[in-house]
Amino acid sequence: MANGEDKINPLFLQLVLSLQTAAWYQMGKVVSPISGKVEKDLAEARVSIDLLTMLQEKTRGNLLDEEKKILDNTVYTLQMNYIDELNSAKKTDQDETPSAAEKTSEAESDAAAEEAQPSSKQSDRPDAGVDE
């Protein structure tokens, strides 16, 4: 390669870093500079990672060793963190969803509470229910 061709292309690096940064924000790993909050959108994170994976496939054999390492490490790190976030989201969903035993217990408690309350159909008249 010629002297100027053995350096990492700054535009390539900028593209990879832009998609990487977007994925970090979308996975909720970094506070958004706009809102000042952690915002999580795993579907969008998946798109950013898929774009990097597509870039990896389409540039195979055309990158410098250093560019390939950067892209490969970026994709791998994001994929592992995405899986972590996905598993964390599933665990949170399971923790928030009551189990069948909890639902049955709650239903039994509600039924017992209804039986213990006096019926609202009784009349306030003292002679109610007395045959005339």
| Spatial CA neighbour of 82 closest among 36, 23, 4 | 23
Structural domain includes residue 115: no
Task: Give the residues across from 27 on adjacent strands.
Answer: 40
Sign of the alpha-carbon dihedral angle for 123, 125, 126, 132:
negative
**Is 97 part of a structural domain of the chain?**
no
* 70 is a domain residue: yes
| pLDDT (0 to 100) of residue 5 | 66
pLDDT of residue 3: 47
Tens of pLDDT, residues 40-57: 999 999 999 999 999 999
- Counted domains in the chain: 1
User: Who's near 13: CB < 8 A, 6+ residues apart?
Assistant: 67, 70
In tens, the pLDDT along 21-44 reads 999 999 999 998 889 999 999 999
**Which residues are registered as beta bridge partners of 40?**
27
User: Which SS3 state, helix, strand or coil, does residue 29 take?
Assistant: coil
At 61-107, the pLDDT tens digits run 999 999 999 999 999 999 999 999 999 988 887 777 665 555 555 66
At 27 the three-state DSSP class reads strand
Domain that holds residue 88: 3-92
Residue 132 lies in a domain: no
> pLDDT: is 73 or 118 the higher one?
73
Contact 63, 71 (CB under 8 A): yes
72 within some domain = yes
What 8-state DSSP symbol labels residue 121? T
The answer to whether residue 17 is domain-embedded is: yes
- The answer to whether position 26 is within a domain reads yes
pLDDT at residue 111, rounded to an integer:
57
DSSP label at 113?
A: H
pLDDT of residue 91: 86
pLDDT band at 108 (very low <50, low <70, confident <90, very high): low
The pLDDT, as a whole number, for residue 6 is: 83
Would 116 be classed as within a structural domain? no
CB 59 within 8 A of CB 71: yes
The mean of the pLDDT values for the chain is 82
Q: What is the pLDDT of residue 131?
A: 55
